Structure 1
Amino acid sequence: MMKNLALVLLHLVIFLIGSSSSYPSKPCPPDNFDRVNVTFEDIRRTSSFGLDLFKKIKTRVPGKNMFFSSYSIWNALAIAYFGAEGKTLDELQNVLRLGKKDKGYKTKKLLSAELSKNVGVELDEVNRAYIADSLVLEKCFRSGGFYDVYQVDFSDPAKLAREINGLVSNTTRGLITEIVRPEILRGAPFFLANAIYFKGSWQEPFSEYLTQPREFFCSPGVACGEVQMMDQDSWYNYGNDTHLGAEVLELPYLNSSISMLLFLPWEGSVTVDDVVDRLDLTALDAAIRGLEDQRVRVFLPKFKMEQTLDRELQKALEELGIIDYFSTNANLSAFSKSLDVDGHNIIHTAVVEVNEKGTEAAAATVIFAFRTSPPRVTFNRPFVFLILDKNLGLPLFSGIYRSPPA
């Protein structure tokens, strides 16, 4: 009897062990690559993020020149999306126009593949996540995982800053040499970085001999300075868009599907702010469809711009709906169950130069976590103290504490 009971219990234990070991582990995003359906429209939908962000940032830097790379920002946040869970994931998924992670992964891959078809331009990018080596990574992000995740020693912020700045400088061909300083990495257990570089030659280069100084008008009839104005007489895709209230001109880059699309508001009735406010994916498609191949004489300023966005960029993203990520509630447990942070900061730098030959542009985006632990001050050695009136700066009593009283 006892022997038979023991055999039954043994078989039951074996059954339970076998059953528990057969439970499938949670799949990683690439695992369903061939089974997930992603259409070209799914890929294009991500463009809405950039147009929406354009509107939000415009309101944060009113009346000023501005230049940024929504694609760089999207990529940096996409890394966070893959490591997020819960409400944090829901918000990132919605704002970035991505579905569930397996679909988001395929969308990201196909988007990069589509851009790589532009062989006539130089286009380079890098995406990387840095996580403290004291944390245990989840399966999908361990060595050989689907994303570039590096576990590093955050106790040497100077060394880590050099590595990140070197990565950004190499990717951007030296256009951006510093994106982080050591002090912002101190105590940060988590860091995301994206860098992107673009260089394209005009399909129809401007002649340097025709470039000359011309007045630039900041408002109708009011000149506000001179610019080096390039001059070109050629055939371009051109049109007038009644919805945007602007002339639209396409300047294509050689051997690629990438172009510079320029919008010149109708003078006296429409402003650049109006054009940006009216610009969405539907309006952009309509504007492009309305272009016709015409002979046009183009006057375009040579220019170089550089801009850094931080606090205003975070506010713009929060207005779009990414709130949880920048709060103490941020859930990045898909990276590591032990990744506990109090919030995130974001920094974005972008540069562009437009001249007779073409365009060179670069951008870098970094997102770093922080912990708000209070500083420790221990008065366990001789110290000075004053009792003073702060408004007057008048010491009423002064003292030095050198040792405990006898």
Structure 2
Amino acid sequence: MSQRKMQLPLYLLLLVAWIPKAIFCQEQSNTEEQTTQANHGLAYHKIRPANSEFAGRLLKFLVSENPHKNVFFSPLSISTAFAMLSLGAKTSTLTNLLEGLGFNLTELQEREIHKGFQDLVHLLNTTEDKIQLESGNGLFIDNQLEPLQGFLDDVKNLYGAEVFAANFKDSEGAKKQINDYVDKKTHGKIPELLKSLDASTVMFLINYIFFKGNWKISFNPTLTEMQNFYVDKNTTIQVPMMMKKERLYYSREDELFSSMVVLPYEGNVWLILILPDEGKLEQSLNSIITKGGITCSRFTKKRKVNIYLPRISISTTYDLEEVLPKIGLRDVFTNDADFSGISTQFKLQVSKVLHKAAFEVNENGTVAAAATGIGIQRYIAFQPIIMNFNRPFIVSLMDTNIHQHLFLGKIVNPTDKY
């Protein structure tokens, strides 16, 4: 069939859905890491530098564009979705897409990139019983579009994508179909993502990440009280401030203008919190980005910490088709985009990229056994460190199993949703 000279939109929906207690860094023994590498090779290690570079580049831009707003997103979700989309890209569109994601195509072949993401998709869905971490991809294709079989095979085999037929001319029906899928994958936490849907859509790609975990030692809700949170010099709000005393991994980082603390979950999962020095939020963020982010290796010693942390309930939504061209990922959004690897039936371009994230932190969690080391004798003489997160702070997510940034952000207002 000859190619019709018409632009039909591809939609990408990127979800970071419902992360009840979720900034985390998984601890892993050498034996466990060796077993993981033996099972999956080193493919995901090869894409780690590019994913980290892309994460820092996007974080820097989002923070600069939203100086007074919360920033929270999953760089890995975005990278995975566009890497999967690249299976259908050709010529300069493919080159710009992969280079826009941070890959050096003179050092890394395209098949190595996809193998790396294939490993990541598998590892993200291989977790302990004590935590719930799910990631996946869904592809809704209009029944007027005839995708190439090779593209369908690759998205299924490499990215584990679920593929569904849809009728986008019935925009209400297609919207319900997609919303129902998202509702199910996010366990009811995002029941109605789409308010409307363009009837000219021919393909809708969804990537989601869902996490749920419990504290090893929960916050006592009877100690939570309303306290001031200083959004900026001119804005103070009242927030429910949680409090507990615990022996925690702590690190003072002068070069990053910040102090850091780790809150552990069950299942060897960490919540890493970064408190910039007073008035040093921008310098701290810039230093973190330029010095490669936060790694679990920074945390080697435990200290007695009195931690004050606000309950957090935020959501963010980004129209990334307006953002990504400004950090180098351009061609997929233009009339010259080449997605002939998806279908030769129509000329396609990406017209919408929606990224939505939800994040909540509260007191709930399972109290761990007393063998948490709180009473270790050699630390008793130290005065407790006070970490009071009553001003904007940074959250950094790292899974040491795969050494990838799963989530990044800054919390300016712990109650703001937009």
Alignment counterpart, residue 346 of structure 2, candidates 339, 343, 346: 339
Query: 1:211, 1:334 → 2: CA distance?
Result: 55
Matched to 1:53, the amino acid is L
Alignment counterpart, residue 232 of structure 1, candidates 244, 248, 263: 244
Q: CA deviation at 1:210?
A: 1.2
Matched to 1:283, the amino acid is G
Please report the TM-score for the alignment, with normalisation by the length of structure 1: 0.71
2:136 is matched with 126
Residue 86 (structure 2) pairs with residue 72 (structure 1): no
2:277 is matched with 266
Q: After superposition, give the CA deviation of every residue in 1:371-394 in whole Å (9 maximum; x if it has no partner).
A: xxxxxxxxxxxxxxxxxxxxxxxx
Q: Which has the larger radius of gyration?
A: 1
Alpha carbons of 1:188 and 1:100: their partners in 2 closer, same or farther (altered >3 Å)? farther
Alpha carbons of 1:213 and 1:330: their partners in 2 closer, same or farther (altered >3 Å)? same
2:30 is matched with none
Residue 107 (structure 2) pairs with residue 93 (structure 1): no
Alignment counterpart, residue 315 of structure 1, candidates 322, 342, 345: 322
Q: CA deviation at 1:160?
A: 1.2
Matched to 2:79, the amino acid is W
Q: CA deviation at 1:158?
A: 1.4
Q: After superposition, give the CA deviation of every residue in 1:58-79 in whole Å (9 maximum; x if it has no partner).
A: 1222211232233332232222
Q: After superposition, give the CA deviation of every residue in 1:181-213 in whole Å (9 maximum; x if it has no partner).
A: 34x330112221122211111222111111111
Alpha carbons of 1:179 and 1:72: their partners in 2 closer, same or farther (altered >3 Å)? farther
- Give the conservation status (yes or no) of the 8 Å contact 2:40–2:119: no
Alpha carbons of 1:74 and 1:343: their partners in 2 closer, same or farther (altered >3 Å)? closer
Alpha carbons of 1:261 and 1:153: their partners in 2 closer, same or farther (altered >3 Å)? same
Matched to 2:78, the amino acid is I
Query: 1:276, 1:287 → 2: CA distance?
Result: 17
Residue 161 (structure 2) pairs with residue 152 (structure 1): no
- Give the conservation status (yes or no) of the 8 Å contact 1:66–1:307: yes
Q: CA deviation at 1:348?
A: 1.7
Matched to 1:173, the amino acid is H
Alpha carbons of 1:233 and 1:218: their partners in 2 closer, same or farther (altered >3 Å)? same
SS of equivalent to 1:185: coil
Moved over 6 A (4+): 34-37
2:52 is matched with 47
Q: After superposition, give the CA deviation of every residue in 1:218-264 in whole Å (9 maximum; x if it has no partner).
A: 346x67021111111111111111221011111222113x4221111
Matched to 2:168, the amino acid is F
What is the percentage of aligned positions where both structures have the same residue?
26
Please report the TM-score for the alignment, with normalisation by the length of structure 2: 0.69
2:15 is matched with none
Q: CA deviation at 1:137?
A: 2.1
Residues 286-295 or 338-347, more deviating? 286-295
Residue 276 (structure 2) pairs with residue 276 (structure 1): no
